[in-house]
Structure 1
């Protein structure tokens, strides 16, 4: 990487680039709507995330260029003696920058942030169809210790 990779909270001006990254893969194309103007639902979600002290939408930047994104949600649980967990969601790297270690640094940054917030665990899900992502997360020390389930509403 030529420029230093930095991390910061996303701002509203980043939203277009974030949605473009979310839509730029096989599964994202079927569930995201990257169009101009962006659907207002993205702005509404961004504003709700930004207003919530337990949610952080984080971008990775090379210089001024946004090259990655992830959302981290911090939540208390009654289990584990009332411990907190961090959940990582929506991790994406700009397609032209994939394979350069940006995703690894995003996850490492999130783990560090979870430690700062006193979390006892970091969790995430990835679609079972994303075999490369499964290997990626396992390579970073994540283990498939639970069977996740979802009910679409």
Structure 2
């Protein structure tokens, strides 16, 4: 599948498929609302992401089939002498594409993209309830160097 896999910025027409992927998993089905029409907050969030030059919502497609998605956020920092870093979030691969290398190709593409944008570091988080995801990211070279904390508001 790899030689025909295409990576591109998501368009509004992709939003329904993206939300379907986000909801199609054990954790996602508890926090997402995949219904028709989509709740307006998804459209507002999509518009905010695509309007921000420091955010990219990227999809992986094979022909016309949406297979995976992730969001890259570029962040300027004063540390590392004013360096930029990237955060990868919202990574999902469709059930049909899991285990076929799509996720690996997408993350590798994203890493290359962050290098092109001049980032010195790319970071991501994964839920502790996803041990397979943790192993996947470690296999790609990510290391658990920090303890992350979140506060839901």
Deviations 1:70-93 (A, max 9, x none): 000001011111110010001111
Q: What's 1:98 paired with? A: 98
Find the aligned partners of 1:117 and 1:2 in 2 and give their Cα distance: 24
| Contiguous gaps of at least 5 residues in structure 1 | none
Find the aligned partners of 2:2 and 2:120 in 1 and give their Cα distance: 35
Alignment of structure 1 residues 83-94 onto 2, 5 Å: 83-94=83-94
Moved over 6 A (4+): none
TM-score (norm 2): 0.98
Matched, 1:108 2:108: yes
2:108 match: secondary structure: helix
Say whether the 8 Å CA contact 2:9–2:56 is kept in structure 1: yes
In the alignment of these two chains, the number of paired residues is 153
Please, what is the CA RMSD of the aligned residues? 1.0
2:149 match: secondary structure: coil
Q: What's 1:33 paired with? A: 33
TM-score (norm 1): 0.98
Matched, 1:74 2:74: yes
Find the aligned partners of 1:84 and 1:118 in 2 and give their Cα distance: 7
Shift of residue 118, structure 1, vs aligned partner:
0.3
Shift of residue 3, structure 1, vs aligned partner:
6.7
Shift of residue 97, structure 1, vs aligned partner:
1.2
Q: What's 1:131 paired with? A: 131
Deviations 1:83-141 (A, max 9, x none): 10010001111101110000001100100000000000000000011000000000000
| Contiguous gaps of at least 5 residues in structure 2 | none
Q: What's 2:62 paired with? A: 62
Shift of residue 45, structure 1, vs aligned partner:
0.3
Matched, 1:50 2:50: yes
